[in-house]
């Protein structure tokens, strides 16, 4: 595999900018109040996706966000090779296993592969491979991803990673953009994941804020089709957005 010098790439510059920035973690609340718990139960009981989640046996309602993203942008097909960053508890992986035919349930169609990684433990899921308790910012986790991919070319890198919210929207924005920049770097640099040129795609969750445009601009350097999308399953009162990037063009001269 040719080595790619990413030292001058937009992803790396963005990575340095956000990782080098100080984050001020103010407003931590360690315990939910009774009112918080009551609000949470009320919201859950009214949410149609919570009911659907139980009907379809998904590990979390977030499954429907990926389903809606995929229905709109057509990213998954039988045989897709997928790397999923921030995979616990495994709801997105369940969707990938179904749509990429990882269990060979559709005969005569290619069999897909999904490798999920998370800081948290992930319960085993038939058809998926996981690296549990792996921090994707660490070299040892990146080495484990490279090893488990075993020279496969990757069709899609998904990041649903999220830091623990602090309660301060600007701080949470900076912290999630940092994770997005790391995910983008992993997707495009070619030293951990070898994303398919031409067909490779990247999806990344963020909480919108001042650095959204810079992140989108950095993504456009590597993909010819880049959209920002808020799937209907994403709650209206959340600043959550997804960058959906298609048609990886590799690292061009910058
Ligand atoms: C919203 S959850 C992912 C939900 C998952 N997509 C699903 O559908 O089941 C976000 C996850 O990002 C993980 N995460 C945050 N920072 C991470 C990091 N540095 N490395 C790996 N995972 C990380 C968290 O542990 C958390 O489980």
List, for residues 202-237, the tens digit of each pLDDT value: 999 999 999 999 999 999 999 999 999 999 999 999
CA-to-CA distance for 136 and 120, rounded, in angstroms? 12
Active-site residue set: 205
- Choose among 185, 157, 174: nearest CA to 82: 157
pTM of the model: 0.87
Mutate to test the pocket of ligand 1, among 53, 62, 86, 166 (most ligand atoms within 8 A of CB): 86
CA-to-CA distance for 186 and 192, rounded, in angstroms? 6
Cα separation values, 29 from 11, 25, 164, Å: 33, 11, 11
Mean pLDDT of 26-48: 63
Check pLDDT > 70 for residue 22: no
CA-to-CA distance for 158 and 201, rounded, in angstroms? 8
What confidence tens digit (pLDDT) does each residue in 126-183 have? 999 999 999 999 999 999 999 999 999 999 999 999 999 999 999 999 999 999 999 9
Q: Which pLDDT band, with edges at 50, 70 and 90, does 21 fall under?
A: very low
Mutate to test the pocket of ligand 1, among 88, 124, 177, 205 (most ligand atoms within 8 A of CB): 88
pLDDT for res 26? 34
Mean pLDDT of 121-126: 98
Counting from 1 in the atom list of ligand 1, the atom nearest the Cα of 89 is 9
pLDDT for res 32? 61
Domains of the chain are: 10-24+62-248 (3.40.50.150)
Mean pLDDT of the chain: 89
């Amino acid at each position: 595999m040719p080595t790619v010098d990413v030292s001058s790439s937009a992803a790396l510059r963005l990575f340095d900018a956000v990782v080098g920035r100080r984050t001020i973690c103010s407003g931590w609340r360690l315990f939910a109040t009774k009112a918080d718990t009551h609000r949470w139960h009320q919201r859950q009981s009214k949410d149609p996706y919570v009911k659907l989640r139980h009907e379809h046996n998904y590990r979390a309602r977030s499954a429907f966000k990926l389903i809606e993203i995929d229905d709109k942008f057509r990213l998954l097909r039988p045989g897709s090779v997928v790397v999923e960053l921030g995979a616990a508890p495994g709801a997105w992986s369940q969707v990938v296993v179904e749509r990429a035919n990882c269990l060979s349930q559709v005969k005569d169609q290619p069999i897909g592969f999904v490798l999920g990684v998370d800081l948290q433990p992930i319960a085993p899921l038939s058809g998926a491979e996981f690296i549990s308790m792996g921090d994707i910012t660490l070299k040892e986790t990146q080495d484990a991803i490279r090893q488990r991919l075993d020279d496969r070319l990757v069709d899609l890198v998904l990041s649903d990673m999220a830091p623990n919210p602090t309660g301060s929207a600007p701080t949470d924005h900076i912290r999630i953009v940092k994770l997005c920049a790391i995910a983008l770097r992993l997707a495009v640099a070619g030293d951990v994941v070898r994303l398919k040129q031409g067909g490779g795609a990247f999806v990344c969750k963020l909480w919108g804020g001042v650095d959204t445009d810079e992140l989108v601009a950095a993504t456009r350097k590597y993909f010819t089709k880049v959209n920002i999308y808020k799937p209907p399953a994403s709650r209206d009162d959340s600043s959550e957005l997804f960058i959906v990037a298609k048609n990886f063009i590799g690292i061009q001269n910058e």
